[in-house]
Amino acid sequence: MKARLPKGYGGGGASNLQQIARQAQKMQEQMAQTTQELEEKEYSAAAGGDAVRATVTGKMEVKSIELKPEVVDPEDIEILSDLVIAAVNEALRAAANDKTERMEQISGGLNVPGFL
């Protein structure tokens, strides 16, 4: 007995493969464009009640760190260091989360190796 596919499946052969290839190419182009847009974007985060603010780019590079004068205490450099690290990490997380969300929108949640 020969197995049958439900209506609308199969039968297309090469034309279905070409259509899938075109869709994959379009998705790849959208992802490349989105990646470029995201790399140009900036993300900021603050720590210590806005005493420290870090700004990073979508390329995951630190662009600036702003410190309020009252947070700079030569006697307690450790707290300042912790605040800088917290602000930078939060800004990097925001950039990474934005990229993940945008790519999932394009791919429909499909995790395709090499695209992300």
pLDDT tens digits for range 39-55:
999 999 999 999 999 99
Strand, coil or helix: 46: strand
Amino acid 101: pLDDT: 92
pTM: 0.71
Amino acid 16: pLDDT: 83
Domains in the chain, CATH or no CATH each: 14-107 (3.30.1310.10)
Amino acid 10: pLDDT: 56
Amino acid 2: pLDDT: 64
d(CA 109, CA 103): 8
Look at phi and psi of residue 13 and say left if phi exceeds 0, alpha if psi is from -120 to 50, else beta. left
Pick out the chain residues at pLDDT < 70: 1-14, 109-116
